[in-house]
Amino acid sequence: MHPFAPLLAFLASFAVPSLALHHGPGINATYDYIVVGGGTSGLALAARLAEDPSISVAVVEAGGYYEEEGGPENVIPALCPFANTSTDPADSSPIDWNFDTLPLTDANSRVIRYARGKTLGGSSARNFMVYHRGTRGTYDQWAELTGDSSWSWESVLPYFKRGCTLTPPNEATRFPNTTVTYNDAACDPAGGPLHVTWPNYGDPFATWAAIGLEAIGMSPANDFNSGELNGTAWASNTIHPRRQIRESSETSYLRSALKTSTLAVYDHTMALRIDFEGLNAVGVQVKTAGKRYTLRARKEVIISAGAFQSPQLLMVSGIGPRSTLEPLGITVIADSPGVGQGMWDHPIFNVAYQVNVETMTRYQTDPEYAAQVMLEYESRREGPLTTPVPGILGWERLSESLLSAEAIEALAVFPDDWPMVEYISRGTGLLDPSDGSNGEQYAGIGTALVAPLSRGSISINSSSAEHPPLIDLGYLTHPVDREVAIAALKRTRQAFEASGVTVGDEYQPGPAVQTDEEILEYIRATISPVYHPAGTCVMGKATDRNAVVDSQARVIGVNNLRVVDASIFPALPPGHPQASCYMVAEKIADDILHGPSQ
């Protein structure tokens, strides 16, 4: 039974807007720029390029509109955790690639269904809508790793600002104790395409989670968009402030571009291979409804297919490790050993209790209440359905007293302002009421490792882009990650105990789990993604043998080809990366249109 079956039945009448595209013609055609992937970065980049009326731009996207093909549970913020994003390999969604990982070697050999958006908007249509930026040190480290000062915090801040419109929270609809603090200078006054705001509801449990986190040392912060991640604050979200629905690269950048430009969108079109003449990328082989044809690029092909499929498309097109390509019969155009290597991700695990405040559990299990909150949402855009699950976020750089000397030394690779752990208040502890709820309320605090040292990889076992890539997450393969995870779970327990809202014994992991060995086994059995893969086409210096692209996102070893998405991050920022995905797109678009800023 779907955990929201009563509510989803009530949602049958919920309408999505009528949508239209500037469709490509479905035959061989030529454009100045072809962007492969209509996701978070891809649509932002394409829309900015298309602002120049003298430039022709096409986007190739394997999916369509998530609003029409995925339904209202992909639009209404509170339902985002239940839009078929389970890690169960039996789960699936029509707007997802439905990828399965390789067995997790250090997490009980579990195979995880890993959500990736197969839709216009990409994973901005599948995420939890959290918007924040990394720390100053994050981007200053990017500048160091790439040898390009234009990636420093001060240099990239204008690109963060230009992409979004920040709308203050509607405090009249939120509870008095859910007041939001923020820096209104975090976005340009003129505003950008992407709406960033806070929901018209403050999750009651989040206020108690904040009390618990503050009790163990995390003080309230002003905001998380000004270069600091330390303490606790309400998460800002990619939500439309008036309509209180999901905001994605499709609802923002694409819809704006379709009104003002000639941007061509090839939806439901699979990119099969990049075409080369010598070392020059000249086009893309694609397939729509079973028909193969070629799109030619006068100037550049830009891959924005995400951290899994950007390296896959490079490899099937002849750019990647020779030892991988030649056995598959792929002609090597550029031997690039870093393609698909060094993947970062943020894994998460949970502590949950029964609590004495109202949580999402109620509208999972009470059809009458579900109808009531839906009516509140549909008529006034207020109430619990306006809020994604993450309410309060907490950030902590663990005290050295909690870590071994070996861990302290290993973690010194991160800048001093980089937190090790993110705590995420979750107004639900039971994702499926069949787990045992009989009207009780449950809540959780998710604990994510945001300074992981474990690395994974992406590879292929087929020369066809239509076969799924091989996804090795690498979770917990580094011993320091295991040590940090144990310490972080203990800290989460302390926060819950200090919150003053728990009822009875701990629900997850449960009071029987006490020793470090027992805690680690629980983590191995339950660890899952926050869905932040990055670094598989890493940006770096020309002297770095593992660098796949240079500091302007140009693929090293060939011409007229770039990669622009999270795969090029030289370091995965702590926390939620979608703001950085938009920033990278804004910056590279500016480089293309006006020359590099350095």
Residues placed in the known binding site: 40-41, 127-130, 577-578
Cite the beta strand spans of 112-235 per DSSP E.
113-114, 130-131, 164-166, 194-196, 231-234
DSSP code of residue 469: P
Has 532 been annotated as catalytic?
yes
Instruction: Please confirm whether the linkage preceding 77 is cis (ω < 30° from 0).
Output: no
* CA 498 – CA 216 distance, rounded (Å): 8
Residue 88 DSSP SS3 = coil
* CA 366 – CA 520 distance, rounded (Å): 35
Under 8 Å between Cβ of 498 and 212: yes
Residue 515 DSSP SS3 = coil
Residue count of the chain, please give it: 598
CA 437 to chain centre: 30
CA 22 to chain centre: 27
Residue 408 DSSP SS3 = helix
Q: Residue 1, Cβ neighbours under 10 Å: how many?
A: 8
240: phi then psi, degrees, rounded to nearest 5: -70, 125
Under 8 Å between Cβ of 444 and 330: no
Q: Residue 260, Cβ neighbours under 10 Å: how many?
A: 12
Angle at which helices 204-215 and 479-499 pack, to 10 degrees?
A: 110
Has 23 been annotated as catalytic?
no
To which H or E segment does residue 273 belong? strand 269-277
Binding residues for FAD: 40-41, 127-130, 577-578
- Count Cβ neighbours within 10 Å for each residue of 141-179 and write b for 16 or more, e otherwise: bbbbbbebebbbbebbbebbbbbbbbbebbeebbeeebe
Token duo for residue 165: 């419109």
Q: Which of 247, 306, 255 minimizes the C-alpha distance to 35?
A: 306
Token duo for residue 102: 């390789």
Residues 6+ apart with CB under 8 A from 151: 139, 142, 143, 551, 570
> Which position among 132, 195, 240, 576 bears the catalytic label?
576
Under 8 Å between Cβ of 564 and 588: yes
Rounding to the nearest 10 degrees, give the CA dihedral for residues 195, 253, 135, 402: 80
> Which position among 132, 195, 346, 532 bears the catalytic label?
532
Angle at 103 between CA 475 and CA 115, to 5 degrees: 75
Under 8 Å between Cβ of 549 and 555: yes
Active centre residues (catalytic): 532, 576
